[in-house]
Structure 1
Amino acid sequence: MTKVYPEEQHVAGNNQVMLTVWKKSLLYNCNGYTVIDSKGNLVYRVDNYATQGKNDEIVLMNASGRPLFTIHRKRLSLSDNWLVYEGDNMVKPRFSVKKHMNPLNTTSLASVSTLGSSNNNSKNALYEIERSYTRKCCVMFDERRRCVAEFKLKETRGGIALGGDVFQLVVQPLIDPTIFMAMVIVLDQMFGSSRHFCT
């Protein structure tokens, strides 16, 4: 079987973080994600036993199972909007991710904002996610239009894709890789071929 994790000599330079995302849980009879680093170490995981219906809540965990982010679909919203909470504390969201609905701008996928204080419901734009999810080629830009993270289908040395469920994430030193992994999960919920979490 082909290795799904990057080999050490192919790790991106300049302190970039390169991860491999496999859209599969390591647990039997469970859907999710397995994320490994350049040495083959487990970094993040998502394990979900739900097999029917839409998932309104997904938990991104570290290798030992500690919740890092809880991703929750915002109900009663006119657009596809998700809230990202720190850990499993769903009191105050850290991010809001809103799907772009403009048919004239097909390369703009979603915007990521921070929410204001409890007395101020304003949102501060942090990132824009662009390109094409169906082609598995997405880039996240910060407010100064710098590329801070991107993901694409992972390929072998010969340029052959490892399949539609194995991705390569490259994250710049400017951003916590955990944040972008949470965004990948949200994008899959927004733009995946099935709006269900199971694969």
Structure 2
Amino acid sequence: MAKIHPSSSSSLCSPLISSKREVFTIWMKSLVLNGYGCTVYDSQGLVVYRMDNYDCKSSHEVFFMDTAGNTLFKILKKKLGVFGQWRGYRSGDGLKEEEEEKKPWFTARKAFRVLKRSGGSWGITAMVGSGRDDHACFKIDASNDNKGYKIRNFAGELLAEVKRKETASGVVLGEDVLNLIIEPNSDQLLIMGLVVVCGLTSHSM
């Protein structure tokens, strides 16, 4: 399994990639009393990541951390156009804050689409760095029924899927408990960033 507890600034900059499919549980609750955010558990039930939003839901600035409280990345919302743009910035890259914000790790925008059968859906397009090739561009598709969404690259390859968590007996848990399934050889930290953007966009964290 890929390392999920970075211990140095250099590891914070490196993608967390596993050769196996990984399954995480996302609880859309903060561990901080009266806070907002989410808590991420691995397949063994251990807390591996957390996002705390001390202000309000869908804040314009949030921080994603490991269990020790080290910030792995932050996400800022910028007012550009009707829906704005989310920008992710990795920590530990040695950049000063003003320089960091000039070079986002990824950018993401929300887009709406109308479907004949389901009545509607929403999606997100994201680009890493310059976004000039398929491996740096991503699409997130979700329906309005909040049953989950899938993350793909622009070549159509499935990278991750988020859906309601079920017990071994098939009982579907509450809307605030989700399964995150990440396919092999995917950048887990980037996927986590896109999942956070989805939560902020849908006002669920």
TM interval, shorter chain, is 0.7 to 0.9
Give the letter aligned to residue 17 of structure 1: E
Q: How big is the shift at 1:54?
A: 4.7
**Residue of structure 2 in register with 1:109 after alignment:** 123
**Residue of structure 2 in register with 1:140 after alignment:** 151
Q: 1:43 aligns with which of 33, 37, 48?
A: 48
- How does the TM-score come out when normalised to structure 2? 0.76
Distance 1:58 1:176, change over 3 A: same
Distance 1:142 1:96, change over 3 A: same
**Residue of structure 2 in register with 1:80 after alignment:** 84
SS in 1 for 2:200: helix
Whole-Å Cα distance in 1 between the matches of residues 22 and 58 of structure 2?
Answer: 31
SS in 2 for 1:189: helix
Q: How big is the shift at 1:133?
A: 5.7
Whole-Å Cα distance in 1 between the matches of residues 30 and 138 of structure 2?
Answer: 28
Give the letter aligned to residue 29 of structure 1: N
Q: 2:190 aligns with which of 173, 179, 182?
A: 179
Structure 2: state its 5+ residue gaps: 1-18
Distance 1:46 1:84, change over 3 A: same
* 1:19 aligned onto 2:33: no
RMSD, aligned CA? 2.5
Whole-Å Cα distance in 2 between the matches of residues 179 and 80 of structure 1?
Answer: 20
- How does the TM-score come out when normalised to structure 1? 0.78
Deviating more after overlay: 171-180 vs 64-73: 171-180
Answer whether contact 1:129 1:139 (CA < 8 A) is retained: yes
Whole-Å Cα distance in 1 between the matches of residues 108 and 87 of structure 2?
Answer: 6
Q: How big is the shift at 1:145?
A: 0.8
**Percent identity (aligned):** 31
Divergent runs of 4+, >4 A: 104-108, 122-125
Whole-Å Cα distance in 1 between the matches of residues 125 and 167 of structure 2?
Answer: 31
Answer whether contact 1:126 1:142 (CA < 8 A) is retained: yes
Structure 1: state its 5+ residue gaps: 1-13, 117-121
Distance 1:85 1:133, change over 3 A: farther
How many positions carry a matched residue from both structures?
Answer: 176
**Residue of structure 2 in register with 1:170 after alignment:** 181
Q: 1:157 aligns with which of 168, 183, 205?
A: 168
Give the letter aligned to residue 87 of structure 2: L
Quick one: higher RCO (CA 8 Å, sep 6+), 1 or 2?
Answer: 2
SS in 1 for 2:50: strand
Answer whether contact 1:134 1:191 (CA < 8 A) is retained: no
Deviating more after overlay: 36-45 vs 100-109: 100-109
Whole-Å Cα distance in 2 between the matches of residues 76 and 112 of structure 1?
Answer: 15
